[in-house]
Structure 1
Amino acid sequence: MARAGGGLGAWGPLMLLVLCSRTWDRAAALGPVRNLTVGAQTNNSITLVWEAPEGPDSQDLTYWVQCTGDGGSTETQNTTSTSATVDGLDAATPYACSVWAEQDGASGTKEDLTVSTAPNAVRNLTVGAQTNNSITLVWEAPEGPDSQDLTYWVQCTGDGGSTETQNTTSTSATVDGLDAGSTYELRVWVKQNGVSGSQETRNVSTAPSEVVDLHNMTQTNSSVTLRWTAPTDPHAQLYTYWVRWASEGLPQRQQDPQVDWANQTNSTSETSYEVQALVPGTWYNFSVWAERNDVASSMQSLQATTVPGSITIQSCVSTSGGYGVTLTWSCPLGGYEAFELQVGGQQLPPDRLACNKGVSVSGLQPARSYRASVTTLWDGLRAVSTPTTCHTESGGVIAGAIVGVLLLLVLVGLLVFFLRRRKRKSQEKAVPKDLVFSFPGDIPAEDFAHHVWRQGKDSNCGFAEEYQQLALEGRGQAQTVASAPENATKNRYRNVLPYDWSRVPLTPLHGEPGSDYINASFLPGLCSPREFIAAQGPLPHTVGDFWRLVWEQQSHTLVMLTNCMESGRVKCEHYWPLDAQPCTHGRLRVALVAEEVAENWAVRDLELLQLDEQKTLSVRQFHYLAWPDHGVPHSPDPLLDFWRMLRQWLDQAGGGGPPIVHCSAGVGRTGTLIALDVLLRQLESEGLLGPFRYVRKMRESRPLMVQTEAQYVFLHQCILRFLQRSAQEEATDDHVPDPTYENVAALQDLEVEA
């Protein structure tokens, strides 16, 4: 044993020498990695890729990667893969990187490579300007210590794939030579130390070119039609054209309450546009531009005026014993320069100050009829002439004969008066005991057809005289609350304000001045001085007040006589829910329960919930859809059918607060329907009709009720049509006709103007 151990001890140094020799040979045989390259560069990392060293024993190697920056900071890591990503580095910084292999504690030769990280991306890339052939981009330099002396690259790619590339040392660049109205993809990046940073991308459109040959094609007293030529851009067929207009002022008359006189804008895909609802005799500034992808072209502008408005002849009175007449007419809406007057072929020099005062014409003959016309002149344009017939009185008549004839006429008149009065009393029906006011001097139903025929002669001359007498009714009453500064924005039109004494007050809200105000008025009816509420159509910020009005008055009936949008203008806010999803306004929740839409109207059932009290109110809305944007309906029949349905509901429902009737301003269409309801019920109860007196009564409570002469005439046409239809129904029945409709032949012969 001692010998054996002694033998191993003798060979020990020799074996150690052999082992060390083999380790040195393996280290010498482990060569450097091959084909060391950069795989990727970002602003905070470098990826290196290589191949294993040559040699038969290239498996199970460990690779070491070391990168040292300018400041001496070193990142070291190892991997068994032939690639590695070193991150946490500084942007735009060169690094000295080394890679070597290791096996069994022996390291191979290092392979070195100098690599830079990519610079950061530019910051806040925005569009500085867009023209029809260029786009300007603006940006800020990327973050980093070395943000000076950078080179920026800008690349622009068009719809067809064409690419333009340019570089700059500035932080803005303009790419020009582009197509108008086209979309481009723009990229911006920084290049430093031969390495490009990440790209910032924007999709930007050039502006369309201007429209060409903008001109005024036609004009009327309420419209101007513009026409232009589309630009010759590659995508012009996709353009939207915008038209903006504004008046230069209305020095002659107050502004129409139905019109918003601020700048108005509308769009079209055509190359012409009719601007409607303008004021006669008024200069307007028009601008037109093209737009695509929310980028607008430069504007083309022009000025144009509407044709002046026609006047209404108020009277033509014989003077100077039949040798002359005095003609009086109203001032037209809008601007005017003068009036041209012709009487019997005799033309007077134009007179600017002739409206609303009598103009005398001499040199005529007694006992003659003369055709007369008045024409408004404005800036070389002429309105449609308004004709009338003037009658001169007979001259040379003996005074005694005149007195005798007058006495005879008085006697005959008294006889007729008493006979009619006796007949009227015999036919008079019972009137409710609580009747608040009557209609003295009203028209018997059997005479109404003749009355309409007489007042409608000579282009509604008689109706014009009646309506002129209503013009000043109710003025001068206090409107203090409606005019208060805190309530100014609650009024849709500045000249339609409720009177203090007849306005409908709301319950004030704590800490909210003016919260008791809404533009609504109580109106008298047949049996109560507060039978109706006339209101303006809600504005976006008064919808909550409108529903407070409904709740506080406990009104079960709403009547709407306008569409929310007419002629491109908002006439009334959509104040009820569009679908089954309820809407909440303050402490009130409104739900749509049912809706039935017919050709000319819609009927909606709504439920109003008071959230604090958890009480409900059922409301039915009657919405008339067939009133045209301008003027009055062409036929009374649809409105009469609508009224019959509404009146049947009101008679059946009973109880609750007054019906709330509104249009846009709450005076024109609203006044017409309320007057129609009251007068037809007066006809049923008394056999009498008093349109003039009732309209005057309404105007004492709210200004401008039955706003236009055309609406006043239409009111008479509706009543006349009701009488005609009633007479036809009576004629087809077997029972004895009602005396109210006894003059059937006259009613059927008188055609209502469509």
Structure 2
Amino acid sequence: MMKLFFFKIISDKLLLGFFLCLLWCVTDSNTTPTLITATTPTTISTTIKPPDDVEEVTVKIQDETSITLMWNKVNNIPTYFLKYDDKDGAKEKYINQTNGEQAVVKEVSHLTAGTVYHFTVITISDGLNSSGKSVETFTRPRNADNFKSIEETERSITLQWEKVENNDYLIKYGSNEEPFTVLDENPVKRKISGLTTMTEYNFTLFTVFKNTKSRGVHIIAFTAPPNTEAITVVGQNETSITLQWTKVNDMLNYTLVFDGSEIHIPASEGNLTTVSNLTSMTRYNFTLFTVFENVRSSGVNISAVTAPPNTEELISVEQTETNITLRWKKVENILNYVLVHNQLEENVTASKDQEFVTKTIIGLMSGTKYDFSLFALFHDVRSSGLNYTAATVPSPVALVNVTERSVDRITLVWENVRKDWTYSLQINGEDHHPEVLEDVVLKEILHLKPGTEYTFRVTTKFFGHNSSAFEDFTVTTIDCAAVDWKVTNSSITGTVEGLFSNATASNKSHSHVSPKGSTVSFTGLYPGATYKLFLVYEKQSRTFEQCKHTLTITPPDLSAHCEYLAAGYSIHISWNRPAGLWTAVEVNVAEKTHIVNNMVEHQVQISEFKPTKTYKVSVAALSGDLRSSTPFVFSCQTDPRGVIAGSVMGVLLFAVLVCMAAFILLKRPDIIRRNKTFIGGPTEKDEKPITVPVEKFPDHFYQLSVDDNRGFSQEYESLMPVGTEQTRKEANLLDNKPRNRFNNVLPYDWCRVKLTSSDANETSGYINANYMPGYNSSREYIATQGPLPSTVNDFWRMIWEQRVKGIVMVTNCKESGKTKCEQYWPGDSKPHMYGELVVTIRYEQKELFWILREFTVKHKNSSEERTVKHFHFTAWPDHGVPQGTEVLIRFRGLVRQHIEREGTGAPTVVHCSAGVGRTGTIIALDVMLQQLEKERAVSINAFVYKMRLSRPHMVQTKSQYVFLHQCIMDSLQENERTAEDIYENDDMIYANATALLQFHTSSNA
């Protein structure tokens, strides 16, 4: 310790300062001076003021073991004294900064990390100390030890470190900071959640003391990858199991753990691995880990067993058309087996006491090879499988069509169902070899006897199996043109060789039936008429048309007389009009023949004769090439009087007649219209329907026809509002509107046909169709529109659900270049699928005015097969009505015959394009002809009224309404139609033809 000597300075401050400087010079420079408290000596009369404190002490740097302080000099004093307390006790530091800098910077080292320190800076000047300027600060805390990641998941990482005293902590990663306080936990664990899977994270851990962070310690950690979404067993045999999984990322690796073993699978090897050298019929547990930067996912577990061995034997013991029975030997103690065939699987369970297992596979296709695979089953794992091939017995031919049947030959055709099937054919016990084409098999048999029955037998062969035989018969036709027919003006007779049951002769709507026997005889015929002869052979409810022949019988005999004219130079020959038909009258006079073709006139005037002469005249009716059996011969004398007088009298007489006729027409028009009061509107709903007896119908027809068909017009117009107030809500639904062909022809809700059954893809039970009344029931028909491309499947659903046996189509698919109806049947003989229904066309017979077809319909989910007849009338023009009533009446007869023969009570479907015009006309014609036959009366207006209550616009045009009446008229008054060519004139289809032609262009059904 330096010794200080003090002297009393009495005189002035200069001496005191000099003395203090002298003391400093002789002081040991390594010794910290002792602070001297500035006091006022009693012996000094002048007071010395201590130096000022520094204005502010700031902490410039804080480190774990040091703190750097800074302050500005006081009055440029260089000497300061720094005091603070450390763990070793109070410490003092002497600071002398003489470098000329204004700021004093002092680093205090060897401090304790994370500790609060109080520093005091004392200014020293002239041996005096300032009172001191204090500041409190602290050292930076130290970093934590053993900072590491101890657990990684897909969305979190758990960190751990050794605790640092009782400090707080801050974890920083990315832009995130998480401060927290730890109490008694050591080591410290912190779970960081909400992270992104399979991501690298840089974590920095700071120890925090007094809001000051340590320098921080860093680690890198990775979140775990996700597990694979699925791990499946894709292969199992007796010694290996193959696993497959969905790759998480093309760069990730995998680790498979089982029974204490691990298989490391690099990303380059894909997502499939086979574990080999395993034991048969043993269960193994596998865990698959996804690996990312050596971090595993949580793992996906799967359990699998190895497969059992195959059976030693598999054979077929029985086959039928639809069944095959297999047998095999059991595998050890395995009771469960899987039999696979045609992509179908069947589970088979054996009993414990069985040595052999037998299984019958049913519901197979006939005449087909099947490949079977048999698997033993252990815990739902199959053996590798044993294969076997067997075949079913072929099915018999479903139908043999006789496509050609003539006098001396027949042609048999049937469907070639399978290209690998063969066929044998026997006719009356004799073998024949048919010709196999692409889709059909046919055989033409020649040199047969006319009108003879032949039995044929067809057998299908396949893979050594024979089907049951299809047996049927047919008959050859008869050449009616070769028969020696005896024709009179009222009869036809002839002896016919060959098989036939019935013979009919028809002239328009009149038919005559010959008595049974080989001699054909028709009597009571209409003279001069042309008759169509039909011979048919009926057996087992089947009808064979044996011949079709046309004969014109002798026209009727005429009687005639003559008058002389033109002063003897001309004669006037008149003849009667007896019952019968003829096309011309042949008049022979003076060795000259005159043909009169004008059928309206029944007279002829022939000139160039001499007066007062007698000529021999013969008159005969002609019908085609035939003439009356006995010409009428008589004598005719020319006029002996003057020609002028006779001519004048004739002119005067004609003038008088014309004047009388004009007077009557002008003065008494009511005579012509004397029955006008009959014409009126139809009965209202509450009025009794008008039923017209047969004997009154011609007069009824006439009354409706007068005044340009005024009666027809009034009756038809009164039908316009019928039924229109009824609801059509279902048809107007948004989903159902595209199912309607026309937006003004919508079915009424109360009687619409509802589809019931549907598959998963079918969502609607709607179809544009209504039940229609008939003569026998209120649901005798279904009137519907021609199917659209989108409703063909619905159409066939309706046919199946309503058990329909007959479809009547009165439109063509295309008319005048426009599509009227989608073709809803197959275009060839191959089966066609319509929704859940399989439709096959069995045959198609084309006639002049219609086409007859037969379909088979089968539901794919059942074995039931139904037959549906298709009656397609092709001669109904797009705008108008048929050219004559005869053809449509005959067509209706075919339909009625089918309905009565089936007798099922199921409705008959009728459609055109819209399903109202032509459809309503044919339905009304069928009902009216039934009523005519059974009641001898008709009620056309009342029935059209009734139909319109069930479906709008039925009988859509006035021409169709008139045509209905004309059909009934022609059915009743055939004898009044004297000229057969009325059916050959396209413009004259009605008795009142001129008035009705205007309706032809208005039909739009």
TM range (shorter): 0.3 to 0.5
Q: TM-score, normalised by structure 2?
A: 0.30
Bigger RCO of structures 1 and 2 (CA < 8 A, at least 6 apart): 1
Higher strand share: 2
Higher helix share: 1
Q: TM-score, normalised by structure 1?
A: 0.39
User: Highest CA radius of gyration, 1 or 2?
Assistant: 2
